[in-house]
Chains A and B, each alone.
Chain A
Amino acid sequence: MNAIIEMARKNVDQAEVYHLQRELLPVEFDAEGLSVIKAKHIEGVALRAICKGRLGYSTSTDLTHPAAIVDAAVATAAYGDETDLRFPGHAIDPIDGIHHPETAALSAEQLVSLGEAIQECILADTSDVEIGVSLQKTVDHVRMANTDGLDAEETRSSVSVSLEVTRAKSGDIFTVGDVYKAREIGDLAVADITRRVLHLLRLGVDTVSAPSGSLPVVFTPTGTLALLWPLIIGLSGKSVLLGLSPLGGKIGEAVFDSRFGLIDDSRLVTGAAAGSFDDEGVPTERTTLVESGTLKRFYYDLRTAKQAGVDSTGNGYKSGLIGGSSFRSAPNATLSNLVISTGDATEGDLIRGIKNGLLVDGVMGLGQGNLHAGDFSNNVSAAFLIEDGRIMGRVKNVMLAGNSYDLLLHHLIGLGDRANWVYGRFSCPAIAVDNVNVAAK
């Protein structure tokens, strides 16, 4: 990596190297038991180079040829976009607890044992299901350096479980799933991992016919993503710059119900996206995006911040909307750990308050509908009928449609008092809203 920086220094005005060494140990169970164990040793670099005010980019996994990596970045810079970007050289404040040597040392056998315990726990409760479990140890060692003096490194280790349980009868299939991530394996308790899935399986034993119309809906923490997806896009500084966000120009305005708040917190070590610096070497921070319904800030990477004339919020990540970060993609304005404000009702209270409506735990095809305008439109994958405050059974073939901005401003019924991590990086309570368009077949 030093070779690349030194070589680049001679050829370009500014250079930034991102170096990832990733050790993964995935252990996978299918319906018939342990199916495969993999050991992955991934190593790659990404080089951003600014030559004569133009930005170039190259990536490679072939570290034996540093000159080729520099040449490729310089070549792209020749035709690259003009930029007045300045790579940062700030000091980095480390985060405690982001790496545990015990996590890094986890063996395949330890992960296998946890997977077996999860399967046994579910089968002890219900026998007519197929269980898929994947467990994974991740150890990322990230090193970043740039020609402005940045030289930062961090090891981030975690262990995750993803669980998918399916009950299939003739012509009817019901799947519930969950993803849990933790910094230490001891934080992944079998009872916690299986409780929600087993609860949903019990609620879904009977199917009932669904109502249609404009109805109240309680989204479970997992279900809230359908509602939050348009906001995740609309709060991006990039969407605002492109003129695609309806929130553009509304900083300081009450755009949501006063009980609703959103914080992007990359320093929250329990969140899967935690890190002391982002993928551009910018020190991370806790960014309040929405407070008591009022729009406070958008989130930015270096480039969009520069264009908007503000500071980066430390949200330059090499990843898509729900993660999957690697060295390959160029950094983009992306949320880290998104924390949604909690309310004072339990999920049970929210359900009991509904006379005729739905409980929605999952939808198909996240990201469908005209997201920029705030519209979502999804078929449900796991949803239940609520009548007089009680769950009557599972509903199928139901389309949900609505506008997130409208629902969270005018039709918020309440927020749950407990947040769960969804996909490890969205901390969500249950959310109840009225006036969701429900179309049953």
Chain B
Amino acid sequence: MKGIIRQAIADSSADYTEIRIERRWLNRVLFQREELETLESATELGGVVRCLKNGGWGISVFNDLTGLSKHVGEAAAMAAVVAARTDDSVVLAGVPVIEDEVRVELEHDFRAVPLQRKVELAQSYNGIILGESDKITATYVQYVDRFMETTFANSEGSYLVQELPDITLLLGAAASDGKGDIQQGMEYVGKAGGFELVEGMEEHAQIAAKRALAMLEAKPVEGGQHTVILDPRLAGVFIHEAFGHFCEADFLFKNPRMAKIMTLGTEFGGPDLQVVDEGFIPGGQGNVPYDDEGVRRGKTHLIKKGRLHSLIHSRETAGRMGAAPTGNARAVSYEYEPIVRMTNTYIENGTSTFRKMIKNVERGIYAVDAYGGQTEFEQFSFSAAYAYEIVNGEVGDLVRNVVLSGNLFETLRSIDAIGDDLEVGGGPGGCGKGGQSPLPVTTGAPHIRIRNVTIGGK
């Protein structure tokens, strides 16, 4: 393979050529209620060629690997059309030429686990949720494992082979009061790791079911402005979705006025606010030993002491801004070209504690985990998975329909306490951008407290 790839690159008429070949194996087990809803086993083999010619990009994607040279020619031809129609020319920041092979060793390799064991495990969790109460009307128990091997080569001489494992478990429960009200409870884990992660989750299955039941009794939150404490999961989703995407340099090129707001050194929060994107943490689903441009992983402080410290880059955005590539060029699969993406993104520990930050909140909301969220520039909106009232400095009753929304920059300035209990984690979802979804990432934070958050309710 190496010889064929090298030869196809050598024959290219483009100024820069790269080839990425990807092989992946995937198994998915999904139980819904009593049904084994999905059991699938997939293999993927595909490739992508990206060519830069006279400063324009052209791309060719294919499943049939026999015509590699033909696809190099096609990508170069597309690049020439782009170059002829545009004035600005792409310049790639220089990076070291690397030849490396990154193999992983898993504690309990899921590839060696029979499919039957995976089905039985998911089924047992499903049984626990169903058995919790007659009011449990639906379940969503999903096990997914994926093993990926990518080969990357470019015309500068880099040649990299790396393996990326990924395993997730989602334990979802829906409870109904029989009168039309339906509420959910969800627990999940995700890791670049082995089968051991998903074993021994019986207690979590029970927690998911119990929460769905408890949510039936929860009262709707009162809409309005509240002091809110976010748990590490929700705070992590917030910092990734609402802030992290602004640090992606390609986004800023497409939004020049936004780029002005995101000037390095600008103060966005208090001196104890620090935000990091890190290409490798043990077991992190966002891990990329080398990104999809063959750049070695980095650790980038997006916010340091409250001020914007660095953006994240691909070779193209770094080349344009005179910055160094940060190892953040990622593609969700061989069907796509790499774009600037986050990896493992988190708020670093502060000095407060959950106890301290809740103590002097007379009335507020403790919001936990996210069911979904979206941002449109500086406006964001997130649904908390569940939440509690805070009354006189203590966690009170469970409340429902907690959707937080607001303006990112005002919200960052309104963070007035950062805990010391950082947790970074993944899950079955992933990040979406530019039609490329779901890309495995992790997010995290310690508990944080924010003043004056708008919460929708009825």
Contacts and interface: CB of A to CB of B under 8 A. Distances in A.
Contacts of A369: 383, 401, 403
A368 B371 contact: yes
B376 A397 contact: no
B46 interface: yes
Given A36-B337, A61-B63, A243-B138, A175 B403 contact: no
Given A35-B82, A379-B381, A58 B41 contact: yes
Contacts of B79: 37
A401 B456 contact: yes
Contacts of B202: none
Interface in A135-163: none
A202 interface: no
A113 B432 CA distance: 29
A168 to B, nearest CB: 4
A372 B78 contact: no
Contacts of A125: none
Interface in B157-201: 174, 176, 180-183
The dominant DSSP class at the B interface is strand
A36 B82 contact: yes
Given A38-B59, A41-B62, A42-B63, A80 B381 contact: no
B372 A441 contact: no
B405 A401 contact: no
A76 B42 CA distance: 11
A137 to B, nearest CB: 13
B138 A244 contact: yes
B43 interface: yes
A43 B64 contact: yes
A44 B454 CA distance: 46
Contacts of A68: 43
A59 B403 contact: no
A328 B335 CA distance: 13
Contacts of B253: 30-32
A372 B401 CA distance: 13
A58 B406 contact: no
A193 interface: no
Given A58-B41, A441-B225, A399 B255 contact: no
A313 interface: no
Interface in B118-148: 119, 137-138
Interface in B43-96: 43-46, 56-64, 74-75, 78-79, 81-82, 85-88
B256 interface: yes
B376 A175 contact: yes
Given A33-B85, A109-B81, A379 B64 contact: no
B385 to A, nearest CB: 12
B116 A79 contact: yes
Nearest to B137: A243
A58 B40 CA distance: 5
A31 B36 contact: no
A364 B337 contact: no
Contacts of A1: none
Contact of A79 (B58, B115, B400): B115
B78 A37 contact: yes
B377 A33 contact: no
Given A108-B78, A379-B405, A130 B116 contact: no
A60 B256 CA distance: 42
B430 interface: no
A56 B33 CA distance: 19
A56 B224 CA distance: 50
A382 to B, nearest CB: 9
A242 B82 contact: no
Nearest to B407: A397
A89 interface: no
B8 to A, nearest CB: 16
Interface string B425-457: 000000000000000000000000000001011
Given A31-B256, A38-B60, A39-B59, A364 B174 contact: no
Interface string A39-71: 111111000000000011111111100001000
A246 B181 CA distance: 9
A399 B454 contact: yes
23 contacts: A36-B78, A38-B61, A38-B78, A41-B60, A59-B43, A61-B44, A62-B43, A130-B257, A168-B255, A173-B378, A242-B33, A244-B138, A365-B381, A367-B372, A368-B371, A368-B381, A370-B183, A373-B182, A377-B383, A379-B403, A397-B406, A401-B403, A401-B457
Interface of B: 32-33, 35-46, 56-64, 74-75, 78-79, 81-82, 85-88, 115-116, 119, 137-138, 174, 176, 180-183, 223-225, 253-258, 260-261, 335, 337, 371-383, 400-401, 403, 405-407, 409, 454, 456-458
Q: Which A-B residue pairs are the 4 nearest by beta carbons?
A: A365-B374, A399-B456, A168-B257, A81-B36
